[in-house]
Structure 1
């Protein structure tokens, strides 16, 4: 697993896998990327594992309450809206309509303000839409990747 340090000193870990155009998938800040391991891999079925939701929630609960409070406080104070129109990359915004953590209109607004963004609504999903609508999530991400092939994919 590779690492990079941001300009403000935060250590980020990344994993490279496969070939073709890079895909950046951001998971929740209180969990690891292990729940994304099986996502968006064209041609590979990703059946839902028994107890997966419980494992996901248990992993989130391991984040110390002080860290959760600090990150949420920062998250709710930062205003990045003016930067959205400057994003010049293919962007997929997945909106969970039944999210009890954040109002679905927030991510929908993001999708409206990133130039050329594709916004997909998950009508039956809560905050963990990749677990709530696993097959649909995989289909949406796979279709997005096919819509935006990279140079290595064109060869």
Structure 2
């Protein structure tokens, strides 16, 4: 069995789909330390406790690649603009202000397009606000659940 590495996972991706990773260059904006990824996007660095958890779980490249890669490709290529307004359940949109993958304006559009939604912006978070601001994220999630489950 071939060891899974970022390089051979990248080789198995469809043409035009690229993995991204965290680089070593940092910049501080509004008091938030951000790291440039391999493509020049800014993202808060992974908190040490998340890195430790991922190490204990075997890392991110240990997930089954077939279905996961199909989901990722669909996620970034499908156009759901006509479907989003038809969602008929309460929805919570959570994002970090510094997400390189999903700019805040797009997440605001998403929340505004959902009929019954709320938006939470973690001010120091990136693509994974639950990693960078777990207390704020969890507080907002619980508030959404309380409102939705009444």
Which runs of 5 or more structure 2 residues have no equivalent in the other structure? 1-46
Structure 1 residues 68-87: aligned runs within 5 Å: 70-87=70-87
1:121-140 alignment runs, 5 A limit: 121-140=121-140
State the structure with more CA Rg.
Answer: 2
- Choose from 51, 54, 57 the match for 1:53: 51
Alignment TM-score, normalising by the size of structure 1 = 0.54
Aligned-residue Cα RMSD (Å) equals 2.6
Query: Which protein has greater RCO, CA pairs closer than 8 Å, 6+ apart?
Result: 1
Unaligned runs of 5+ in 1: 1-48, 151-155
Aligned length: 102
TM-score of the superposition, structure 2-length normalised?
Answer: 0.56
Matches within 5 A, 1:3-152: 51-56=49-54, 59-63=59-63, 70-150=70-150
Higher strand share: 2
